[in-house]
Structure 1
């Protein structure tokens, strides 16, 4: 693919509608991202807001939700499996004492209100407040969340591509439980290379066996647990046989950055930020934790040049997002 073409920003008109349960973002009237903020999932799946479907500007879906193998996977969502004694990921919980077990500890992230939805030249930003509660309804975390949908410059777009956009995501978590919380993962509880928990994406079935890429090169499952400022995944769609790319970019101001990535190509395609992969992070009252990311949704595959250019454009968008 060409990598020397001048960067172009697609000029599609972005808009958003609210049906009382979900926000739907459109580009020139075509849906590209739906954010369900009032889910109806069972408690076992740790109900929480999520993005699904996510669709490229060219019209290809790049998420699935409630797959039969892990029904608690929800497109793209902020999800944490080991929050003290609570599970905000869904499904069974892994601990040293029990390994995987159903512990009746599946909490919920409940939408309180949108504190603002703003249109700007850069894109559309929503600010949201949420309360995290334990399975029995007790308060655990108060979260202030923001996310923005923005079109990106994409100088490497080829004939099969329709360009790229990014979802900028920011979470600030405050401990309201009355006791210190240590946030970890199955790996911090002793399960090797299972450090999932963070902003997590589940890709279509046809993406299984796709390719990861970061600034050092390309590969598959060997990217599990690696650290890099950005990481991209390219997969192929059934029927259309086109490719699409999803890339994660971490804000350098995040605690511990660059943090590890949870990256899997075999079994099924998934990718997620994993700031609690190998070590627990304390969340103390009055000492909130803030994490920021950009998730790029791009038509077409990427070579090293285009991947780096998309990551740079997303990093610039994060830097300009006050």
Structure 2
């Protein structure tokens, strides 16, 4: 179950599973088009059998790139990409609001046995280039199970406000558009995954937008090859997504029509305010599996993997 790692410096890091010969994902950190709010992303992400479960620059949203961390409304700036939602006007081209999340350095890039690690430092900037935030990001790959046809990655980001005033994380919904609370970690699925099955431990489909749950699963069917894949998104316990400890609650942004997308939103119903010098830390696990898993199988798998 050995994982291997290839680093094309200045461009990407690729992690592969030696036994199957499958490249599980590429982490691309080279800068891209300014209009698309440059930031690192994972694409393509594949199942152990080699099926792709992410999309890249689809014609409806060129700034959707695999799995990435986003900030659609950040103190008046757009670190998401493309047009900016303005209440009463809809989506407006405001290039002077498009910012970026820039790769600064890797602290660790390693693969040993059945585990791979990417530890990275990034800086967040508005359109003018000032330093607004610094991020420490850690992506760990493991849990490779050829018998189950699955593997997992854990994504942890710690974002520190470097401004002299609060950073306000919002979304189109906090700015007046219903059911568009995307911000934070964001996954865009392949076009073939449209109309896939979406469920949590206690609900299905249309009931999930803006809801809360420990995990959410998306099952899609491939084009070009037979079969399905299941992608499961899971909150770290420390996220306190339900808000019992007084921290800002998270809610699921999820769509299966007109495209497949999932985000455990940082600011679905209300803004998240990060004071100067404070750090926002969030962790997630993404399980990637061959086949159409049902609720019972997903629940058992999630329960069997300790944080």
Offset of residue 190 of structure 1 = 1.1
TM-score, structure 2 normalization: 0.92
Q: Does 1:216 align with 2:202?
A: yes
Offset of residue 151 of structure 1 = 2.3
Offset of residue 266 of structure 1 = 1.2
Distance 1:61 1:48 in 2: 21
2:2–2:113 CA contact under 8 A, matched in 1:
no
Offset of residue 312 of structure 1 = 2.2
Moved over 6 A (4+): none
TM-score, structure 1 normalization: 0.88
The 10-residue stretch of structure 1 (271-280 or 121-130) with the greater mean CA deviation from structure 2 = 121-130
Offset of residue 118 of structure 1 = 3.7
Distance 2:260 2:226 in 1: 17
Once the two structures are superposed, the pairs formed by residues 154-303 of structure 1 within 5 Å of their partners are: 157=148, 163-217=149-203, 219-257=204-242, 259-303=250-294
1:242–1:300 CA contact under 8 A, matched in 2:
yes
Q: Secondary structure at the match of 1:277?
A: coil
Equivalent position to 2:133, from 128, 141, 146: 141
Distance 1:308 1:120 in 2: 29
Q: Secondary structure at the match of 1:170?
A: strand
Q: Name structure 1 gaps, 5 residues minimum.
A: 1-11, 158-162
Equivalent position to 1:14, from 3, 25, 28: 3
Q: Aligned Cα RMSD in Å?
A: 1.7
Equivalent position to 1:23, from 2, 6, 13: 13
Distance 2:256 2:300 in 1: 23
CA deviations on 1:154-182 (whole Å, 9 max, x unpaired) are 88x4xxxxx11111000011111221111
The 10-residue stretch of structure 1 (170-179 or 99-108) with the greater mean CA deviation from structure 2 = 99-108
2:106–2:119 CA contact under 8 A, matched in 1:
yes
Offset of residue 305 of structure 1 = 1.7
2:22–2:49 CA contact under 8 A, matched in 1:
no
Q: Secondary structure at the match of 1:253?
A: helix
Q: Secondary structure at the match of 1:301?
A: coil
Distance 1:84 1:138 in 2: 13
Offset of residue 152 of structure 1 = 4.4
* Cross-structure match for 2:124: 132
The count of aligned residue pairs is 297
Q: Name structure 2 gaps, 5 residues minimum.
A: 243-248
1:129–1:143 CA contact under 8 A, matched in 2:
yes
Distance 2:59 2:7 in 1: 29
